A and B are shown apart, each in its own frame.
Chain A
Amino acid sequence: MSKTVTLAHGAGGRQTSELIHEVFAAHFANPLFTADDAAVLEVEAGRLAMSTDGFIVSPYEFPGGNVGKLSICGTVNDLSCMGAEPLYLTCAFVIEEGFPMDKLEEIAAAMEKTAAEAGVRIVAGDTKVAGKGQVDGVFITTTGIGRIREGVRTGGALAKPGDAVIVTGDVGRHGCTILLARNEYGIEADVDSDCAPLWGAVDSVLTASEDVHVIRDATRGGVGTVLYEIAEQSNVGVRIDAEAVPVDGAVKGVCGMLGLEPLYLACEGRLVIIAPAQEAEKIVEVLKKGKYTAGAAVIGEITEEMPGKVVMTTEIGAETLLPQPGGELLPRIC
């Protein structure tokens, strides 16, 4: 097979089938992976969750993962947040002409590995090749279906005053990794992405506690944006303790230099979990035993006061508003 992806690979002929067989089918092989127009699935009766997400990260590979791993984690985590066990995924690729074939293999391999770990099956796919410059490397869209655990009901509008706010690990790692990987700032730091599939973590939390109100994955916009969304959806206030928010030392250092707030940097393997205060301890305990959630911590509480706002108790014990999300991320200039 050729060393790079060409327009012929997207033309539907022999090269297309070669690409599908040697790269995608080879990695995604499972009894349900369809050779027909659509996958046919048997699903038990019950409530289903369905989600779709596009992944266009630049650069497409970064410390801690690549766009392939990200595309599986993103949709798996979206389903998981609804208390749904991820079952099936489809994926659609738009590949830039000239994209290295070995890199495509690596991306497919990462998808296979992550899907296997998450217990989800890739059942259908699509491949398009776009002319040079029409896309940046490779864009992947994944769509997933999951079965919601019996009796589970989570949602952003369900936070109640008195609930505890939990994060499942240190914040801002993915956003920081991507900033550094773009190499625009001339800063080097030892940071890798937190990108991880989190169904296992959610499953263990839902097993440990029957009373979980909100589960959200803090992706674009970070934990800060998620907290503002929940405050608005549930019409409650959120109070967080700045010192309780876990932030990796290197991430803190980079943010200090660039004037960024770690709470607003993207995560790809972190959940915000909101549950009654009396449930918090056992939830954190079970999370601490998890592969990707050992850094879990209670960072604050839901309040009746100041609905729609996130208030922070700072290092000096003063109270201040967490600035609202929005605007561009501008680096500090002096």
Chain B
Amino acid sequence: MEENKKKTAREIISSYDGPKLRIMEVCGTHTHEIFRLGVRNILPENIELISGPGCPVCVTPVGFIDEAVYLAEKCGCTITTFGDLIRVPGSEKSLAGARSEGAKVVPVYTPTDACRYAADHPEEEVVFLAVGFETTTPSACMAVRMAAEQGIENFSILTANKTMTNAYRALKGSADAFLYPGHVNAITGADSCAKLADEGIYGVVAGFTAKEILTALAVTIVRLQEGKPFFVNCYPRVVTDEGSIPGQRMMQEVMEPCDSEWRGLGVIPQSGLRLREEYAAYDARKKYDLPEIKGRPNPACRCGDVLQGKCTPADCKVFGKGCTPLHPIGACMVSNEGTCAAWYAYRKESIDE
């Protein structure tokens, strides 16, 4: 390993010739940057980069979209949501489909915008679709607190918030190491992942610039070659050991852990967040007495396998044919951080055409 000290990150990556390594990134922004920079094009054959479940839109199960459509159509609610979710297919229709049939769906940029919208439209029952990881969840909690403090009674949220730690456990066999999502660790802290090394889950916290991503990859490769348990924080300018205490406190006060369904991964115990009992009035499932809705994903779509690295988007029969960014069949084709959408936009095949 001594000779590696003199090499640049890129040289370490390109010159690797050891046993096959599988490294999984679990952040949509990493996925997008890795594609944009063309990182895969400099990898040797024996390093595989897998785009894991890191895009909140991608991991949101079909049943959640069905719940949102139900709230819009059967309960007459105004659905406020991040724009990406509008085009994600449900069992029968997407929110865009529901909107074209008369449902009210309003894109917002932040959860507090949704709460403000409710305050400005007291005649509407407003539901915000709370998806996202520890990065987005504090702001959803903030919106609920804002509604409670200001007595905004026509606002509630439909939660599908997820936490990463148990997802790493569920994905343990899918990769040799993780590129941990720097933005999530900025909230949860480096310690949350450092502890996982004792359970045989290894990885490196990565930043988002070209240099940071290459450095994190090179460090991962070197440490995997050493063959010992490891965790390295390669993004210390942003990620501290303990993370953001106010962000964590906000989540703990408003939400509590629950089991959660991930697209393709099924239900992962204690990997989600729901509103605490004292905020039940803002929980759309309780407020509208939502029945249990079981989503029926399109059987041709392999998003679930893609998210676990079991196949690449190109292995999916509908990829690029029935399923394109303009007409997505699976969630991974919707957001520009989705694996299939990134694969489609930057796909190597079109370079070789």
Could you mark each residue 307-321 of chain A with 1 if its beta carbon is under 8 Å from any beta carbon of chain B, else 0? 001011011111111
B56 touches which of A327, A331, A333 (Cβ 8 Å): A333
Given known A306-B351, A309-B351, A315-B210, contact A332–B337 (CB-CB < 8 A): yes
Q: Which residues of A contact B57 (CB under 8 A)?
A: 333
Give A161-194 interface residues, CB cut-off 8 Å to B: 184-186
Chain B CB within 8 A of A1 CB: no
B214 touches A316 (CB 8 A): yes
B336 touches A319 (CB 8 A): no
Q: Which residues of A contact B347 (CB under 8 A)?
A: 321
A316 touches which of B37, B84, B133, B183 (Cβ 8 Å): B37
A315 touches B82 (CB 8 A): no
B42 touches A318 (CB 8 A): yes
CA distance A185 to B41 in the complex (A): 34
Chain A residues in the interface with B (C-beta under 8 A): 184-186, 259, 306, 309, 311-312, 314-321, 323-324, 326-328, 330-334
CA distance A306 to B83 in the complex (A): 34
Give B44-59 interface residues, CB cut-off 8 Å to A: 55-57
Q: Which of A184, A318, A326, A333 has the most CB of B within 10 A?
A: A333
Chain A CB within 8 A of B39 CB: yes
Would you call the interface of chain A mostly helix, strand, loop, or mixed?
loop
CA distance A156 to B56 in the complex (A): 41
> Interface size class for chain B?
35 or more
Q: Which residues of A contact B56 (CB under 8 A)?
A: 333-334
A334 touches B28 (CB 8 A): yes
Q: Which residues of B contact A312 (CB under 8 A)?
A: 38
Could you tell me the distance in whole angstroms from the C-beta of A247 to the nearest C-beta in chain B? Answer: 14
Known: A315-B37, A333-B56, A334-B136. 19 other contacts (CB 8 A): A184-B109, A186-B109, A259-B337, A306-B351, A309-B351, A309-B353, A316-B10, A317-B10, A318-B38, A321-B346, A326-B326, A330-B83, A330-B336, A332-B28, A333-B57, A333-B83, A334-B29, A334-B56, A334-B183
Q: Which residues of A contact B36 (CB under 8 A)?
A: 314, 320
A185 touches B109 (CB 8 A): yes
Tell me the nearest residue of chain A to B57, going by C-beta.
A333
Q: Which residues of A contact B353 (CB under 8 A)?
A: 306, 309
Chain B residues in the interface with A (C-beta under 8 A): 10, 28-29, 32, 35-39, 41-42, 55-57, 82-84, 109-110, 131-133, 135-136, 183, 210, 214, 325-326, 335-337, 345-347, 350-351, 353
Could you tell me the distance in whole angstroms from the C-beta of A54 to the nearest C-beta in chain B? Answer: 26
Q: What are some 25 contacts across the A-B interface (CB < 8 A)?
A: A184-B109, A185-B109, A186-B110, A259-B29, A259-B337, A316-B10, A316-B37, A316-B38, A316-B39, A316-B42, A316-B214, A320-B35, A320-B36, A320-B38, A326-B326, A331-B109, A332-B336, A333-B83, A333-B136, A334-B29, A334-B56, A334-B133, A334-B135, A334-B136, A334-B183
Which are the 8 A-B pairs with shortest beta-carbon distances? A318-B38, A320-B38, A323-B345, A333-B82, A315-B210, A318-B41, A314-B37, A334-B135
B136 touches A316 (CB 8 A): no
Tell me the nearest residue of chain A to B112, going by C-beta.
A186
CA distance A318 to B351 in the complex (A): 13
Given known A311-B351, A319-B351, contact A330–B335 (CB-CB < 8 A): yes
Q: Which residues of B contact A330 (CB under 8 A)?
A: 83-84, 335-336
CA distance A306 to B10 in the complex (A): 27
A314 touches B38 (CB 8 A): yes
CA distance A326 to B345 in the complex (A): 10
B37 touches A318 (CB 8 A): yes
Q: Which residues of A contact B135 (CB under 8 A)?
A: 334
CA distance A331 to B353 in the complex (A): 31
CA distance A186 to B139 in the complex (A): 14
Q: Which residues of B contact A326 (CB under 8 A)?
A: 325-326
CA distance A323 to B41 in the complex (A): 16
B210 touches A323 (CB 8 A): no
Could you tell me the distance in whole angstroms from the C-beta of B226 to the nearest C-beta in chain A? Answer: 25
CA distance A314 to B110 in the complex (A): 32
A327 touches B84 (CB 8 A): no
Q: Which of A306, A319, A326, A334 has the most CB of B within 10 A?
A: A334
A323 touches B335 (CB 8 A): no
Q: Which residues of B contact A185 (CB under 8 A)?
A: 109
Q: Which residues of A contact B35 (CB under 8 A)?
A: 320
Tell me the nearest residue of chain A to B184, going by C-beta.
A334
Tell me the nearest residue of chain A to B13, going by C-beta.
A316
CA distance A314 to B10 in the complex (A): 13
Could you tell me the distance in whole angstroms from the C-beta of A183 to the nearest C-beta in chain B? Answer: 11
CA distance A322 to B214 in the complex (A): 20
Tell me the nearest residue of chain B to A315, going by C-beta.
B210
CA distance A316 to B37 in the complex (A): 7
Tell me the nearest residue of chain A to B209, going by C-beta.
A315
Q: Which residues of B contact A259 (CB under 8 A)?
A: 29, 32, 336-337
CA distance A310 to B41 in the complex (A): 16
CA distance A311 to B198 in the complex (A): 44
Tell me the nearest residue of chain A to B213, going by C-beta.
A316
B132 touches which of A186, A306, A309, A333 (Cβ 8 Å): A333
Tell me the nearest residue of chain A to B42, going by C-beta.
A318
CA distance A54 to B281 in the complex (A): 50
Q: Which residues of A contact B351 (CB under 8 A)?
A: 306, 309, 311, 319-321
CA distance A328 to B55 in the complex (A): 18
A318 touches B39 (CB 8 A): yes
CA distance A309 to B336 in the complex (A): 20
